[in-house]
Amino acid sequence: MKKDYKKTTLSNGLTVFLKEIHTAPLVSSWVWYRVGSKDETTGRTGISHWTEHMQFKGTPKFPAKILDKAVSRDGGFWNAFTYMDWTTYFETMPADKIDLALRLEADRMTNSLFPPREVASERTVIISEREGSENEPLFRLGEAITHAAFRVHPYHHEILGDKADLRTMTREDLYQHYKTYYVPNNAVMAVAGDFDTQSMLARIRELFEPIPAGATPPRLARHEPQQAGELTLNVEGPGETTYLQVAYRFPAASHPDFYALSVLDSLLAGPSSLNMFGGGISNRTSRLYRALVEKEFAVGVSGGAAATVDPYLYTFTLTVHPKRNPQEALAALDAEIARVREARVAKAEITRAIKQARAIFAYGSESITNQGFWMGYSEMFANYNWFLTYLDQLAAVTPADVQRVASATFRPQSRVVGTYLPTKAKETQ
C-alpha cells in the first residue's frame, strides 16, 4: 500500500491527514472526535449520539436549513455516525465545492447553537429511532448481551442510550457535552480526493487554526474485571425465529493479536469487511457455514468483531434452524470452536484469508469516501499505519499464531451466550 499522504498537527492540536486521489472530481472530508458512548455516565447515556444530531441544527452562520440545503444543492453526500469510541461527520462533494464542507465543519466545531426548541423536537426523533431499533430482535438481544458482558466498563450501554435518560437529559447537559469534547485537540481531520495538498492545507489552517484548543477532555477509567464463568441469558419477544448469539472477549484493535484473530474470523465465519463503503463477500465456504448451515443447525451464521479502543467482543450470530433447538445449534458451534483450538490450521487457509482481504481492500479503494474514512477511523483506535500495513501484518500470521489466539480468545469461561426466544413459537408449542 502506497504511503502517499500528508499528516500534520495544527497549533491548536487538530491532527490533519490529506491524501490526493485524482481518479474522480470528488473530495471527501471527515472530522472525527474522540467521544462516544464509552464517555457517558449513568443518567447521560445516549448523549454523544444526541449531540451528533444537534450538530445538524445550525450555527449563527449556517442556520439548520441553510446548511442542509447548501450541501445537497452542491450535489454533496453527508452524514454523521456515533460509535462507542468516536463521533464522525463527513461530506463528499464535487471537488470544486468542498470549501463549503470545510467552512461548515470549522464553524460547527465551536459555534453550534443547540436551540431549546430543536432539542425538544430531537428528543422525540431519537426516541423514535430507538423504538425502530427495538422492533428488531437482534437489537434487543445484542443490547442484553453487551449489558451482561460489561458490568463496569462503559461499553455496557447502547449508543442510542436508555429511554430513561433520553426522556430526562436537558439542553444544558447536551451543550456541556459538546463544549467539553468538541475541541480541536480532541479531533482528527481526514481529507481525501481531487485537490492539491498545499492549497488544501493552507485553507484548513485558515479555517481551523483560529479555533482555540480546549482542556483535555476527561476519560472514564473503568476497566472491566475478568469474567469468572460463562453467562447465559434469554430475551423473549414477538416473532417466529430463534436467534443465538455467543460473544467472547476480544482484544483492542491495537493489540498485536488482532491480525491473527482477523485470519481466524475469516476462516471460521467468512471475512469481515471493516469498510464503511465497499462491502465484503459471502461466507458459504467458511467452517461455520459448512458445519452449521449445511448440516441444518442454523439457516444463517455470521461472526465479527469491532475495531475498538478498549477490549470488546467477538460475536457469533446464528439464526437457528426451525427444526432445531438453540442447545443443538450451540453444541455444533462449540464443536467447531474446539476444532480450531485443538488443531492447527493449514497454511493454505491463511493464504486464502490474505487474498480475501486484498480483494476487499481493492473494492474499498474504488470509493474516495471510503479512503477518507480509513485515514480518520484507523486513527481513532490505533493509527493510519495500522491500515497501511494491515495486509503485510496478515501475511506474517502463522498457523501457530492462529491456534494460540483461538485458545486464548474462545474460552467458555469468558463468554456470554444469549438466546432470543420468540414468544409466538413458545405459545403454540
Question: Please, which of residues 264-303 interact with other proteins by CB under 8 A?
Answer: 270-271, 280-286, 290, 293-294, 296, 299-300
The distance of closest approach from Cβ of residue 130 to other proteins in the complex, given in angstroms and rounded to an integer, is 8
Q: Is 428 in the site for other proteins (CB under 8 A)?
A: no
231 pairs with which residues across the strands?
A: 416
Restricting to residues 198-217, name those near other proteins by CB under 8 A: 199-200, 202-203
Which H/E stretch holds residue 303? strand 298-305
Handedness of CA 277, 283, 288, 289 (dihedral sign): positive
The distance of closest approach from Cβ of residue 167 to other proteins in the complex, given in angstroms and rounded to an integer, is 13
| Residue 147 grid coordinates | 449489558
Restricting to residues 345-364, name those near other proteins by CB under 8 A: 352, 355-360, 362-363
Of 94 and 399, CB closest to other proteins: 94
CA dihedral (200, 201, 203, 206) in degrees, to 10, reads 170
Q: Is 121 in the site for other proteins (CB under 8 A)?
A: yes
Of 66 and 215, CB closest to other proteins: 66
Of 183 and 235, CB closest to other proteins: 235
Q: Is 123 in the site for other proteins (CB under 8 A)?
A: yes
DSSP per residue, 319-373: EE-TTS-HHHHHHHHHHHHHHHHHSPPPHHHHHHHHHHHHHHHHHHHT-HHHHHH
The distance of closest approach from Cβ of residue 377 to other proteins in the complex, given in angstroms and rounded to an integer, is 19
Q: Is 20 in the site for other proteins (CB under 8 A)?
A: no
Site map for other proteins, 375-404, x if CB under 8 A? ------------------------------
Restricting to residues 223-242, name those near other proteins by CB under 8 A: 237-241
Buried b (16+ CB within 10 A) or exposed e, 74-103: bebebeebbbbbbbbbbbbbeeebbebbbe
**DSSP state, residue 21:** -
Q: Which stretch binds other proteins (CB under 8 A): 62-70, 143-151, 309-317, 390-398?
A: 62-70
The distance of closest approach from Cβ of residue 282 to other proteins in the complex, given in angstroms and rounded to an integer, is 6
Of 139 and 254, CB closest to other proteins: 139
Question: Cα(314)–Cα(326) distance, rounded to whole angstroms?
Answer: 19
- β-strands 231-237, 415-422 pairing: parallel
Q: Is 24 in the site for other proteins (CB under 8 A)?
A: yes
Question: Cα(329)–Cα(293) distance, rounded to whole angstroms?
Answer: 10
Handedness of CA 386, 388, 391, 396 (dihedral sign): negative
Site map for other proteins, 87-106, x if CB under 8 A? -----x-xxxxxx--x----
Of 97 and 249, CB closest to other proteins: 97
